[in-house]
């Protein structure tokens, strides 16, 4: 019987002979930073237990579920072609500002494996000096099922090679406080050490178990059969015919729409851009639409930022 500290606060026990899987609710990866799935995001008991104050929801139907939480909603699919890099700076600002004010942030998608993990890794890279592979190990040490799809991993690699130095500099200039630096460095070192021990004991994997090899977490992606690929190709072809977005004239690389609202009622689809500096029940003003230049969200004002993506015909898989 082996014991490891997995989240810096609780001790989980694993039997290497039985290869027991991790039991998941919310997974703590850094002080004030958690990763979870859609079910976790609806569980008010869990949110209260971990004192979650801010939520980053990133999936196809991301929306506000709790009126007493600050929200950042990013509508994005779990597709290798989905561009998540464009949201990294916006998510970094939301997460970092909340943590500096001693808030607790939950990042979730549907399964808590790919989209949410990608955002968490990008933040850890930006807030520390870790590479994307090291940051992913930190997340996996706290959440064994963390496994971004190959497209998202490639985006993280490109982010490290082309933009990470600029993003770290931008984050430090916007948030000059050093309050989180030491504790994040110590926590990351602890998590990396735990990762290596868990890897040696075969309680987690590196996310690339070979075909036919038993995966200790059961989440390694396998190559689809020819039949399933044919079925997938057919369904994607039908989607091109039926999807309203296939007739969109929006440029492929165009910036996403940014929407914000407060209160219980969702925003009107006709008001896609709102100036966050002048909130009001019926006000709708033009604001910058590029996520990287949007103003930071004040954790003191409860509300929701909603980011949506629109796919053109070229962006639909199989077109």
Q: Residue 160: its pLDDT value, please?
A: 98
Predicted confidence (pLDDT) at residue 249 exceeds the cutoff of 70: no
73 among known catalytic residues: no
Predicted confidence (pLDDT) at residue 42 exceeds the cutoff of 50: yes
Q: What is the DSSP letter of 77?
A: -
d(CA 284, CA 268): 10
| Buried residues in 44-62 as b, exposed as e (16+ CB within 10 A) | eebbeebebbbbbbbbeeb
Q: Which residue has the higher pLDDT, 135 or 221?
A: 135
Q: Residue 223: its pLDDT value, please?
A: 45
Q: Residue 212: its pLDDT value, please?
A: 52
Backbone angles phi, psi at 89, to 5 degrees: -65, -40
Q: And the tokens for 20? A: 């027991």
Backbone angles phi, psi at 242, to 5 degrees: -95, -25
Span 277-294, pLDDT tens digits: 333 433 333 333 344 444
Looking at every residue in the chain, the average pLDDT score rounds to 72
Q: Residue 193: its pLDDT value, please?
A: 92
Residue whose structure tokens are 């989607």: 239
For the chain, the structural domain boundaries read 25-181
Predicted confidence (pLDDT) at residue 124 exceeds the cutoff of 70: yes
* pLDDT average, residue stretch 206-219: 61
What's the order of all strands across the beta sheet hosting 33-36? 27-30, 33-36, 105-108, 54-59, 70-75, 304-308, 257-261
Predicted confidence (pLDDT) at residue 131 exceeds the cutoff of 80: yes
d(CA 122, CA 164): 9
What CATH number labels 25-181? Answer: 3.90.190.10
Span 76-122, pLDDT tens digits: 999 999 999 999 999 999 999 999 999 999 999 999 999 999 999 99
Q: Residue 306: its pLDDT value, please?
A: 66
Q: And the tokens for 48? A: 């209260």
Distances (CA, A) of 110 to 77, 173, 224, 260, 295: 10, 33, 21, 22, 27
* Pick from 124, 125, 107, 127: nearest CA to 171: 127
Q: Residue 285: its pLDDT value, please?
A: 31
- In this prediction, residue 268 has a pLDDT band, given cuts at 50, 70 and 90, of very low
Distances (CA, A) of 215 to 80, 199, 205: 22, 12, 7
Given a contact cutoff of 8 angstroms between Cβ atoms, the answer to whether 281 and 303 are in contact is: no
Distances (CA, A) of 137 to 14, 88, 133, 167, 195: 18, 19, 6, 21, 6
- Catalytic entry in 6, 91, 109, 205: 109
Span 190-209, pLDDT tens digits: 999 998 888 887 767 666 66
Roughly how many angstroms between the first and final C-alpha of the chain, as a whole number? 52
Predicted confidence (pLDDT) at residue 16 exceeds the cutoff of 50: no
- In this prediction, residue 159 has a pLDDT band, given cuts at 50, 70 and 90, of very high
Ranked by mean pLDDT, which of 12-16, 22-26, 161-165, 272-276 comes out on top?
A: 161-165
Given a contact cutoff of 8 angstroms between Cβ atoms, the answer to whether 228 and 35 are in contact is: no
Q: Residue 209: its pLDDT value, please?
A: 64
* pLDDT average, residue stretch 271-278: 35
Q: Which residue has the higher pLDDT, 74 or 267?
A: 74
- The pTM of this model reads 0.66
Lowest mean pLDDT among 47-56, 89-98, 305-314: 305-314
* pLDDT average, residue stretch 51-55: 97
Strand partners, 71: 55, 304
Predicted confidence (pLDDT) at residue 40 exceeds the cutoff of 70: yes
Q: Residue 13: its pLDDT value, please?
A: 37
Predicted confidence (pLDDT) at residue 6 exceeds the cutoff of 80: no
**Strand pairing report for 33-36 and 105-108:** parallel
């Amino acid at each position: 019987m082996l014991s490891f500290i997995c989240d810096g606060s609780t001790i989980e026990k694993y039997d290497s002979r039985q290869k027991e899987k991790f039991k998941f609710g919310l997974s703590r990866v850094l002080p004030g930073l958690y990763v979870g799935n859609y079910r976790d995001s609806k569980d008010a008991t869990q949110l209260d237990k971990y004192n979650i104050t801010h939520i980053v929801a990133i999936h196809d139907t991301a929306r506000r579920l709790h009126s007493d939480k600050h929200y950042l909603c990013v509508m994005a699919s779990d597709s290798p072609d989905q561009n998540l890099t464009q949201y990294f700076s916006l998510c970094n600002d939301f997460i970092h500002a909340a943590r500096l004010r001693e808030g607790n942030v939950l990042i979730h998608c549907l399964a808590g494996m790919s989209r949410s993990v990608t955002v968490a890794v990008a933040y850890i890279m930006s807030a520390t000096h870790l590479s994307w592979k090291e940051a992913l190990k930190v997340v996996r040490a706290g959440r064994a099922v963390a496994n971004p799809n190959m497209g998202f991993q490639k985006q993280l690699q490109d982010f490290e090679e082309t933009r990470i130095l600029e993003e770290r500099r931008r984050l430090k200039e916007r948030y000059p406080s050093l309050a989180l630096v030491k504790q994040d460095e110590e926590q990351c070192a602890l998590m990396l050490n735990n990762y290596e021990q868990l890897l040696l004991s075969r309680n987690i994997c590196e996310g690339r178990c070979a075909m036919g090899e038993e995966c200790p977490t059961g989440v390694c992606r396998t190559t689809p059969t020819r039949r399933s690929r044919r079925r997938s190709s057919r369904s994607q072809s039908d989607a091109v015919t039926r999807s309203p977005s296939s007739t969109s004239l929006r440029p492929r690389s165009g910036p996403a729409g940014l929407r914000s609202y407060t209160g219980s009622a969702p925003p009107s689809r006709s008001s896609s851009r709102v100036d966050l500096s002048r909130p009001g029940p019926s006000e709708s003003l033009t604001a910058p639409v590029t996520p990287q230049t949007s103003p930071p969200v004040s954790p003191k004002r409860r509300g929701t930022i909603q980011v949506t993506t629109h796919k053109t015909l070229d962006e639909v898989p199989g077109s």
